[in-house]
Every structure is written in C-alpha cells, then in structure tokens.
Amino acid sequence: MDPKIVIGLSFLENLKELKRMRESLPKDIPIIAINGAYDDFQTYHRYSLDGSKEYLLSFPNTEVIDYAALQPAKRQKYLDRAGELGYDYLIIMDSDEFVHPEYNDWNLFKENLVRMAEENPRDQLFFMEMWMPKDWDRAHNNIELDRFQKWGRVIKNPGSVKYAFWCHYRLLRKEFTEQDVITRKTDVLKAHHIIEGVRFATDSRLRTPDFLKRREKWAFNQMHAEWKKINDFFLAPENVEKVKEYVATTTTTG
C-alpha cells in the first residue's frame, strides 16, 4: 500500500525560498506549513505579509496554520496535525531547502521507505541525504556536489513524537520528557538507515545578510539556553537524588 506522506514546513516571510522549494516538489504532495515567527527570534512581522502564505495555498493538498511560538512548540504543530490527519510519515523540510533535480525519484523513495520500515519496525526516524554548502557557509558558497550530510528528517507515525530542547531534529516519543533525556532514562530518537530516491539541497543565498546575521545570533542564544536548562536541572535542590542516581549510573571506577 502506498504510504501516506506529508511535508512539514515552518516558514516566515521568505517567498523566494518557498518558490524554489515548492517548485522542486511534486505538485500534489501534501504540505502542512506553519506560518509565524519564532518568539525568541528578532523579526519584523509576527506572520508573513509577503504573499508566501497565499503562494503555498495555491497548491493542492496544502494547509497553512498561523502560529507563532518558540521553535519546538511551533514545529510541534505540524507533527500533531499530521497525526490528526492520519499520515504515516512526515518529512521535515525547511524553506531554504529544495529537492536536488538529479535525486528526485519519489516512487523509488516510497518503495525504499516501506521496505526499510518493514525491516526495522521499531525505528521511527530515518535519514535523508542533504547536499551541503562548502564549510556550512550557506550564504556565500556554491553547493559542492560531492559533499552531503545525513539528516534524520523522515518521521514514522509523526503524531506520537514531540520536539525536545531547541533544535528541530531532536525528537522524543510523547511519553517522555526532556528531564528523562537529561537523566538518561531515554534518548532522543536516532536514525540508522538512509532512504534513497530523494535528496535535498540547502543554501540560504536567497536570504538577506541582515536575516543571516540575526539567525546566527539566535542560534547561539538557543544553544546557550539549552545548556542553561540542563545546568539548572542538575543544580535544583529538588533534583539532588536524581543527580546522585545519574552520577552512580554513569561513573565508572578502575
């Protein structure tokens, strides 16, 4: 049976990128797009005013949800909505990404996905390959066609997982918390297998230098906030026993 696949997209005020991204996809592929600012990212508009929402809605099978929030909460919207609509898989895609024209075989992708999921029934996260710009400099360098990374972007049963911490590819099953990860009661979902057939490319040369500068500052602040969250957890008096338990299970003696 053909798997039900949907694209999960978060966007704000980036029409040029969205056009490049959308035109690289099959016209009828479903998309759940969350329109809105990240609340901890300096923006000039809370929601898009550049026609990007209207552009996306001009395609079939597209739903746009206006929702501005912190990054994990904003992205959680497309996971939950995909679960409500009964999709089997959600593919995370950002607006500065697009499908590479030489790796754009969705039938092969679906065949490989079904086979890999059947062979690994416990896996909920799968890799996709991504062409990456030189030295990760998305704004100024051409994409190197011999260089790619693996990203966990294909989520099985998306309604059963949630975002944790700040980074958009860190996912947990809904029954666990961030504290469970910190104390090693569970791990973030891990991908082990690449789904061949479709490969993304990413570069941000369509974004303004002002946006890129603000993004770099925001990413630094996000990482700092995550480490502070972990540090505060271990220093909190009510977690003394949990810390002792954590140390006892992670410390080895000669």
Give the total number of structural domains in the chain. Answer: 1
Tell me the β-bridge partners of 126.
154
Q: Which residue has the higher pLDDT, 72 or 5?
A: 5
With 50 as the cut, is the pLDDT of residue 254 above it?
A: no
pLDDT at 131: 82
% of the chain at pLDDT higher than 90 = 55
One-letter identity of residue 206: L
Residue at 39 is within a domain: yes
Q: Which of 5-9, 13-17, 19-23 is least confident?
A: 13-17
In the chain, alpha helices (H): 15-23, 52-57, 71-84, 106-119, 178-182, 209-235, 240-250
* Structural domain range at position 93: 5-207
Residue at 253 is within a domain: no
**Does residue 145 contact residue 151 with C-beta atoms inside 8 Å?**
no
Residue at 170 is within a domain: yes
CATH of the domain at 77: 3.90.550
- Length of the chain, in residues: 254
- pTM for the whole structure: 0.83
Residue at 224 is within a domain: no
